[in-house]
C-alpha cells in the first residue's frame, strides 16, 4: 500500500481519520496535557492547531470555555461539528488578544517552518491573558537517534542533534508519513525568550522502554507572558 505523505502544513485533513484513531498518542499526549492543565472548568482555553477537535471536545465536556483555530478549513469544519461553529476562529486575525487563561498547541510547531514557528509563538503570546499559561508540545527532539518508538519509525539521523533539519518519518499507528522539522530543544527555548514568553517548566509524556531504549515520546513546554 502506498503511504500517505503529509509534507505541507495545510494537508493534515487528508489524515483526519488516522489522527482520530491514534490511540497511543491520545492516551499519552492528551492525558498528559489534560493533567498539566489542572481544573479547566470555566477556563477560557484556545486550542491552536487543534485539528479535528478531539482534545477540544474533551475539554468542553470537562467544562472549559473552549475555542479552536486551525489553518486547515477541513479540520475547522470537523472541530466545529464537535464544539460548535461559534467556537472556531477561521483566521488568526479573529483570535482575541489578552483573553485566554490557557492555550494549548499540540504537535504543530514541529511540522511548520521556522518563520511560522515564530509567528505562532507570537500569536499565542498575544492571545494569552496576563495570568495565563501556554502549553506547547510536540515530538521529543531528543529521540532523533531512536529509530523505533511505539509511535514512529525514523531513519538513522543524517544530521547532528544541534542542527535544524528536516527528515521523513512514518507514524506506526496511522501508517502515514510526515516531514518532521527537527530543532534542538534549546532552539525553541531561544525563540520563546526572543518573542517574550517565559519558560515556566518542561514536561515529557510518561517514559517506557522499547528495544532497550528509554523513550519519552513528547515534550511539553509550559510558558507565560
Binding site for ligand SAM (CB under 6 A): 9, 12, 19, 49-51, 54, 70-72, 75, 106-108, 111-112, 116, 120
Closest CB 135 distance from ligand SAM, rounded Å: 11
- Residue positions counted in the chain: 225
Closest CB 180 distance from ligand SAM, rounded Å: 11
Query: 91 or 214, CB closer to ligand SAM?
Result: 91
Query: 5 or 71, CB closer to ligand SAM?
Result: 71
Closest alpha carbon to 185 in 143, 213, 125, 123: 143
Residue nearest to ligand SAM (CB): 51
Query: 94 or 160, CB closer to ligand SAM?
Result: 94
Closest CB 107 distance from ligand SAM, rounded Å: 4
Query: 75 or 151, CB closer to ligand SAM?
Result: 75
Closest CB 160 distance from ligand SAM, rounded Å: 25
Closest CB 86 distance from ligand SAM, rounded Å: 19
Query: 96 or 160, CB closer to ligand SAM?
Result: 96
Amino acid at each position: 500500500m502506498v503511504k500517505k505523505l503529509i509534507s505541507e502544513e495545510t494537508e493534515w485533513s487528508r489524515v483526519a481519520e488516522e489522527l482520530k484513531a491514534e490511540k497511543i498518542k491520545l492516551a499519552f499526549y492528551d492525558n498528559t496535557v489534560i493533567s498539566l492543565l489542572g481544573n479547566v472548568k470555566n477556563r477560557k482555553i484556545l486550542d491552536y492547531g487543534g485539528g479535528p477537535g478531539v482534545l477540544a471536545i474533551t475539554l468542553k465536556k470537562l467544562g472549559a470555555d473552549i475555542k479552536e483555530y486551525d489553518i486547515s478549513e477541513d479540520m475547522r469544519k470537523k472541530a466545529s461539528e464537535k464544539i460548535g461553529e461559534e467556537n472556531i476562529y477561521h483566521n488568526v486575525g479573529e483570535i482575541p488578544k489578552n483573553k485566554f487563561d490557557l492555550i494549548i498547541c499540540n504537535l504543530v510547531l514541529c511540522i511548520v517552518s521556522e518563520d511560522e514557528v515564530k509567528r505562532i509563538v507570537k500569536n499565542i503570546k498575544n492571545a494569552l491573558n496576563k495570568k495565563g499559561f501556554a502549553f506547547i508540545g510536540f515530538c521529543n527532539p531528543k529521540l532523533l537517534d531512536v529509530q523505533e518508538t511505539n509511535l514512529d519509525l525514523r531513519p538513522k539521523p543524517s544530521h547532528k542533534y544541534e542542527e535544524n533539519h528536516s527528515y521523513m518519518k512514518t507514524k506506526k499507528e496511522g501508517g502515514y508519513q510526515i516531514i518532521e522539522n527537527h530543532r534542538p530543544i534549546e532552539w525553541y527555548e531561544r525563540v520563546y525568550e526572543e518573542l517574550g514568553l517565559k519558560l515556566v517548566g518542561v514536561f515529557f509524556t510518561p517514559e517506557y522502554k522499547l528495544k532497550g531504549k528509554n523513550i519519552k515520546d513528547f515534550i511539553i513546554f509550559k510558558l507565560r507572558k
